[in-house]
A = this chain, B = another copy of it.
């Protein structure tokens, strides 16, 4: 971690330029991870996409791996904020499933999850990267867990489906579905699956007698 950034308290010096370059590099890194994968996300490739010089990767982030982690942080923060906003507007389990599908499609189109997937598999080849990636996945699981918890609240299902444990499966499923859909460019299989989940959810809601859909008008 040679340099973690211009953290100075600066008056109003040209930090603007620096911050913008850092942002461009982070975006370039996201793009490279998404389109070329971990193995293809080299300093040169990222710099090319960022429209700036290769040496800046090392000046600002110290190493390619650090830049890639910053990219993962960026995607993670962006998406979690978005998820949270979407979930806040939803109520029961049925709502949650609908929100999940909408979010899944957005992520698929934009390749957000590909960034995570590439970092997970790339972690094997770069010493020390694993723990860093692990730490960045925890918030996803926590978010999912708490979304499930509030959706199942006051429902007979909550005894049967402990949020923490299901959340892990949901994150894994999300990751796997995204990798497969990106690989073959076919989203029909995952859409069909979401349909089934929706059906099951409706059935569970009816059976449990709990309000499966929030009453909103």
Contacts and interface: CB of A to CB of B under 8 A. Distances in A.
A118 B121 contact: yes
A121 B124 contact: no
Q: What is the oligomeric copy number?
A: 2
Interface in A102-146: 114, 117-118, 120-126, 130, 133-134, 137
A173 B40 CA distance: 26
B171 A133 contact: no
Contact of A168 (B123, B137, B180): B180
A74 interface: no
A144 to B, nearest CB: 12
A48 interface: no
The interface residues of chain A, by DSSP majority, are classed as helix
Contact of A166 (B37, B134, B196): B196
Contact of A124 (B118, B166, B180): B118
A193 B180 contact: no
Contacts of A118: 121, 124
Given A120-B179, A172-B175, A174-B176, 6 more contacts: A39-B39, A118-B124, A121-B121, A121-B179, A165-B189, A166-B193
